[in-house]
Amino acid sequence: MAASRYRRFLRLCEEWPAERSKWQRDLGAFLRQRVAQAFREGENTPISDPEACDQMYESLVRIHTNFYKNKYPRLKDTTFTGVTVEDCRMILATDILKQMEDRKKGTWKRLREKFSAKKPEEDLK
């Protein structure tokens, strides 16, 4: 039984899209990592709580297939502020967030990081 659960999770991981714009914050990558941790021995991994495992799988399938998005369709594809889905994706991209974080730094700190030979983390040691 554990082998079939393992194969189902692997199939789900293969189908789950990887978002290149959100590296290190991607749900698909996190899912793959957790499946690898949970099934360390592959098909031979003993499952202590099969019901919870099945429930977790079904929940992930509902997220992956947009079950609730399809069940409860929205009238408009914008938020109350008027921001579209594409705008949200662009704003949440890792590169944009990094640029925003750099803008929060003061001028002196940015110059120091730019011209310093060592990394700022080393200054704290």
Please write the tens of the pLDDT for every residue from 8-55: 999 998 888 877 766 677 788 889 889 888 888 888 888 888 899 999
How big, in percent rounded to 5, are the helix, strand and coil portions of the chain? 65, 0, 30
Give the pLDDT of residue 29: 85
Mean pLDDT of 62-72: 93
Please write the tens of the pLDDT for every residue from 69-93: 899 988 877 777 777 877 777 777 7
Measured N-to-C along each axis, helices 2-15 and 50-64 cross at an angle, to the nearest 10 degrees, of 20
Whether pTM > 0.85 for this model: the answer is no
Give the pLDDT of residue 100: 67
Give the pLDDT of residue 103: 67
Give the pLDDT of residue 102: 66
Write the DSSP assignment of 38-76 as a string of letters: HTTTGGG---S-HHHHHHHHHHHHHHHTTHHHHHS--S-
Give the pLDDT of residue 23: 67
Mean pLDDT of 105-111: 71
Residue ranges of the domains in the chain? 1-73, 75-118
